[in-house]
Amino acid sequence: MISDQLGRDGSGAARDDLIFKGSVEFLYNNEPLLSPAVRAAYLAALALAPGAVADHSPRTFAGHDVYLVQQLSSFGVIGLIVDSASGRVVGYTAGTNPTSLQDARQVTYAVVTQPGTRP
């Protein structure tokens, strides 16, 4: 079902990179709502997508020890930057270099009690 919903381009051709991209967008939009166990399972499943890998090479991003969950395809690299200690997504990366965080973007979330209020 995920393949049918997310993995087809405008002409209907199957593309594994679209499955990963759609899954990253879902996680980006919903990450604060997920329990640590669900988030960990989602990231582990995402790392099993065709062309995807979890890269646990030591690195730091925005003051966090992190690892990458990313996919390399003919369209480039797209990935999530995950805090090694908490399992929270702290950034994302896209481009052509699978190991560089030079163009990475930091992700921050705010929790509020009511819509329209500030934390």
Lowest mean pLDDT of 2-6, 17-21, 95-99, name the range. Answer: 2-6
Lowest mean pLDDT of 2-6, 20-24, 53-57, name the range. Answer: 2-6
Query: Which helix H or strand E contains 27, and what residues bound it?
Result: helix 16-30
Show the beta-strand stretches assigned E in the chain: 52-55, 60-61, 64-73, 76-83, 89-95, 105-106
pLDDT, position 7: 54
Most confident among 9-13, 15-19, 58-62, 110-114 (mean pLDDT): 58-62
Q: Locate the domains of the chain by residue range.
A: 2-106
